[in-house]
Amino acid sequence: MDAPPLGADNGKWGLIDGAPLLLRCPFFRPMAHQVRNGVQIAKQCWKALNQHPQLLIFPLLSGIALALVTLAIAVPFIANLPEPDATLTAAEESALWWWGALFTFVFYLICYTIIIFANTALVGVSLKLLKGERATVADGVAIAMGRWGQILLFALISATIGTLLQMAKNRDRDDDNAMASVLALVFGSLIQGAWNVIVFFAIPVYVVENRGAIASIRRSADIFKQTWGEGFVGKTVIGGVSCLVPFAIMFVTAAIGFVAVSLSSPVLLALAILFMVLAFGTMALITGAINGIFQASLYHFATTGQAGAFIETDLARAAFARS
């Protein structure tokens, strides 16, 4: 089924006739089309993942590596922290804060390097597949290995921003001023959200154009301005699923746990915990892979004008049309 041209008042699309009154308003009409196109693009990325399930390998390997890093570094560090009610001198508190900042930076740097390396491989393979080329997991690893410089600098910048935001939140959290703590949390979240938007296309940029990390971030911001409507909505759809699914997982886990406690069944309780771990792990794998496909597809169309194999040409053309 072809997508309607932007601004078409055709009721069969459910955008004007029969749509909520707010979306019938001429001011919100372009927004209605962006929402529809963003949702459709996200659906077609899901279809692409079904056709190429090997793309799940990259978030799987990334998740395993992150788990190992956490067990090897974070758990021992947290276990050796002073007791919450321990009395520390001002000098000891200051030293602990700085050690915490250093540890946070190193931990973030390692984790971001793993995540960005895996995403680079995922996006690289996705870009080859959407152009109709054959691509394997080994191809993705080779692409990522060829971009080590960009990956490390990108991870360094991300770790620095993440550490500064985290330490600012922690310092204000210890403050007795509740308003300052709330403002710090809101401000930090806004900065983190803005950073995620700015760097959304950075990986496909340096994979295809082989630019440096900083140049790729600038180029990413420019591309996002061109595609902000569908880019934001599509990313929100993927993120929204990532936020809603956990509620369903927790509900099922709680139900099984309630039955287990009522029956005094440790086996059933263990199954509830296992279900929760596997469900969250599966959700992370799927959303990670779909997000990589989405990045690659949106970048490919924005820079070449060709939809590729994952998104219908008419849908992509309508999605990126501007009134």
Half-sphere exposure of 125 (CA within 13 A, CB side): 27
Predicted pLDDT of residue 27: 46
Integer Cα distance of 221 and 198 in angstroms: 5
Integer Cα distance of 112 and 107 in angstroms: 9
Predicted pLDDT of residue 117: 96
Predicted pLDDT of residue 180: 65
Predicted pLDDT of residue 199: 87
Instruction: Say if CB 306 and CB 297 are below 8 A apart.
Output: no
Instruction: Say if CB 205 and CB 223 are below 8 A apart.
Output: yes
Predicted pLDDT of residue 178: 65
Integer Cα distance of 103 and 10 in angstroms: 57
For residue 30, give every residue at least 6 positions away whose Cβ sits within 8 Å of its Cβ, in sequence order, or none. Answer: 6, 7, 229, 323
Instruction: Say if CB 117 and CB 176 are below 8 A apart.
Output: no
What is residue 211's three-state secondary structure?
A: coil
What is residue 133's three-state secondary structure?
A: coil
**Which regions in the chain score pLDDT beneath 50?**
1-20, 22-23, 27-28, 229-231, 322-323
Element at 201 (helix H, strand E): none
What would you report as the CA-atom Rg of the chain, rounded to the nearest whole angstrom?
23
User: How is residue 134 written in tokens?
Assistant: 């054959």
Indicate the DSSP class of residue 2: P
- Whole-prediction pTM value? 0.74
Predicted pLDDT of residue 88: 62
For residue 164, give every residue at least 6 positions away whose Cβ sits within 8 Å of its Cβ, in sequence order, or none. Answer: none
For residue 101, give every residue at least 6 positions away whose Cβ sits within 8 Å of its Cβ, in sequence order, or none. Answer: 163, 167
Integer Cα distance of 295 and 280 in angstroms: 22
- The rounded Cα 91 to chain-centroid distance in angstroms is 39
Predicted pLDDT of residue 57: 93
Predicted pLDDT of residue 22: 47
Q: Which amino acid is at 266?
A: P
Predicted pLDDT of residue 123: 94
Predicted pLDDT of residue 45: 82
Cα 235 to Cα 37, 47, 75, 198, 230: the distances in Å are 12, 16, 32, 13, 8
Integer Cα distance of 114 and 128 in angstroms: 22
For residue 263, give every residue at least 6 positions away whose Cβ sits within 8 Å of its Cβ, in sequence order, or none. Answer: none
Integer Cα distance of 112 and 119 in angstroms: 10
Residue whose token pair is 């971009």: 147
Predicted pLDDT of residue 147: 94
The length of the chain in residues reads: 323
